[in-house]
Amino acid sequence: MHRIASHHVRVSLSQTTTKKPRRDKTGHRAENTVQRPASQPASQPVRPSIYVFLSISLPPFEMMDLPVQMALGLIKGVLPSSAVQFIQENLLDPASPAQAVKREASGALWAIGASVWPVVAPLVDRATAALSRSPDMVVAAAFLVVVLVVYQVLSLVRRVMMFWTRLAVRAVMWAGVAALLAMAWQRGIEASVRDAVVILSKVAGFGGGVANYFVQEYQRYDAQQREVQQHQQQQQQQQQYRSDDYGQRSSRSSRGQGGGWS
């Protein structure tokens, strides 16, 4: 046992030995010397760039499952316990067919990415080099992307507002229909018809009053416009008469002056 232990100690010491520092011609120790264990290989295999890219861009599976767990926690208070148990057993269990399909799909995606990346990498490098050489194109592309994103957000907001507006209008309409049916059920058919006639007559009277008011306002506005037009015509006639009178007087004075000179 003592021999075996001493042998292991000698092996460990031999593995941790380092190279002697190099010295130059003057005998001084050279700089930037590298010390590494004897068992360490000289060069490590380089990982393909696709694996580095995917490992940086894709989150771990635990983080990818966080939205699922959060959604499950939210629906626990809505769905019955049997439905939640069914989801956990058939969708979230690692041994379920859904998880097997998910693993197969993720493996296929990784394989496709690894096979496509050597072809796409030169194109990406060329595109980045071209963009770095022309920053104006980068600014223009960023501006277009921002405009497109803003347009999409505004379009989404408009669609959401239109959806909720239509939903509110339909809800109010059906609430009014339900209120009318409830009133007819409580008061009876004859009383409901009588009330409907009274309400319609009041609405018709109010509508007639509003229509008469608008007709009177239109007639008053038309009369004012006619008065303004007549006043403008009178002013134009007076100006024309004054210009004609001034022309006649000037012609008479010119004739008189011509006769005196003759």
Range of the domain at 70: 49-133
Share above pLDDT 90 across residues of the chain, in percent, rounded to a whole number: 17
- DSSP, collapsed to helix, strand or coil, labels residue 148 as helix
pLDDT (tens digit per residue) in 21-53: 555 555 555 444 444 444 444 444 444 444 444
Q: What angle do CA 232, 234, 238 make, to 5 degrees?
A: 115
Token pair, residue 152, equals 């999409």
In a domain, 238, yes or no: no
Q: Are 22 and 33 in contact (CB under 8 A)?
A: yes
Which range, 79-93, 156-170, 207-221, 248-262, is most confident? 156-170
How many structural domains compose the chain?
Answer: 1
Q: Residue 19 is encoded by which pair of tokens? A: 């190279």
| Per-residue pLDDT band at 96 (split at 50, 70, 90) | confident
Q: Cα(171)–Cα(121) distance, rounded to whole angstroms? A: 55
Does the pLDDT value for residue 92 go beyond 70? yes
The pLDDT of residue 26 = 53
- Could you tell me which residue, 90 or 202, shows the higher pLDDT? 202
Query: Is 100 domain-assigned?
Result: yes
Report pLDDT digits (tens) over 110-161: 999 889 888 888 988 888 888 788 788 888 888 999 999 999 999 999 999 9
- CA 114 – CA 120 distance, rounded (Å): 10
Q: What is the mean pLDDT of residues 222-229?
A: 90
Q: Let me know if residue 241 belongs to a domain.
A: no
Helix (H) / strand (E) containing 100 = helix 97-133
Contact 23, 29 (CB under 8 A): yes
- Could you give the dihedral angle defined by the CA atoms of residues 137, 142, 148 and 149, in that order, rounded to the nearest 10 degrees? 170
Does residue 225 lie in a domain region?
no
Sorting pLDDT into bands at 50, 70 and 90, what band is 83? confident
Rounded to the nearest integer, the mean pLDDT of the chain is 75
Is position 236 within any domain?
Answer: no
